[in-house]
Amino acid sequence: MSVTVNYIINASGGVESPQIEASSGYPEMDAAALAAIVNFTYSPARNDYDEPVNTHGRYTFRFHP
């Protein structure tokens, strides 16, 4: 079982606006994926002027029974 989440990685490296792209079919697993993704941190993307910018991210959580 898996849940795929799309989100924005902001210029500070945090996660914003997570949304389920592909549901597991189980609301509890989908909710767990959304709760987990907001705790992820990244090095932000940078533009041609080496300034941090927003970018899109996608992550698939795989649940093993």
Dump pLDDT digits (tens) for 4-19.
Answer: 999 999 999 999 999 9
pTM: 0.88
Q: Are 58 and 9 in contact (CB under 8 A)?
A: no
Dump pLDDT digits (tens) for 29-56.
Answer: 999 999 999 999 999 999 999 999 999 9
Q: Torsion angle of alpha carbons 52, 58, 61, 62, nearest 10°?
A: -130
pLDDT band at 64 (very low <50, low <70, confident <90, very high): confident
The beta-strand segments (E) located in the chain are: 2-9, 15-22, 45-46, 52-53, 55-62
Whether residue 65 has pLDDT greater than 90: no
Q: Are 57 and 9 in contact (CB under 8 A)?
A: yes
